[in-house]
Amino acid sequence: NLLLQQAAADSEKNPAMPLDTCVAMTEGSIGFWLVNALDNELQAQGITKEVAAVVTQVIVDENDPAFKNSTKPIGPFLTEEDAKKQMAESGASFKEDAGRGWRKVVPSPKPIGIKEANVIRSLVDSGVVVVSAGGGGVPVVKDPASKTLTGVEAVIDKDFASQTLSELVDADLFIVLTGVDNVYVNFNKPDQRK
């Protein structure tokens, strides 16, 4: 969110950065912090193990319906007046967020691939602890003709990105750690159950 606030202060001296770049910068920064913390803890425990972060490009389908319906809130909370002003000036979409203010919303397409999957698998196979797919990874689309990747203005759900990565690297076990006491079906709905 801090990078998005900086990007919102667009000026001649401070050009706005595209969302995919903000996601990559965030993933790299948080990856560094996690690698540093894990490395220090492993050393403190007397465990000799390499730790590495991989900025992860998550491939999405440019025709994913999510690109026509932005739902993922990002960035700072704004007043209704400021949000409507930005909508008029930039064409961006904003929605009210649970009575806390208005936030920009962007598409959240489903991942269909991960460019670095083979690299991550190789690192894991060689014994490296890998931090990857942070925040859902950097969303990219693949040009069918040239096979080149291009970043897109979207945010990938981190659980879907992690699930996709676990499948692509043939993980033996996939665990999602959350801030809730149990795993629930229909979380926060009247028919929620453990």
Average confidence (pLDDT) over 68-92: 91
How does pLDDT run across 136-185, given as a tens digit for each residue? Answer: 999 999 999 999 999 999 999 999 999 999 999 999 988 887 777 887 88
- Give domain status of residue 187, yes or no: yes
By CB atoms closer than 10 A (0-12, 13-18, 19+), residue 136 is buried
- Give domain status of residue 153, yes or no: yes
- Give domain status of residue 133, yes or no: yes
pTM of the model: 0.84
- Give domain status of residue 12, yes or no: no
- Give domain status of residue 124, yes or no: yes
How does pLDDT run across 98-130, given as a tens digit for each residue? Answer: 789 999 999 999 999 999 999 999 999 999 999
Q: 124: which 2 tokens?
A: 């894991």
Range of the domain at 139: 18-62+111-194
- Give domain status of residue 3, yes or no: no
Give the domain CATH number at 38. Answer: 3.40.1160.10
- Give domain status of residue 106, yes or no: no
Count how many domains the chain has: 1
Query: Using alpha carbons only, how large is the chain's radius of gyration in Å?
Result: 19
- Give domain status of residue 73, yes or no: no
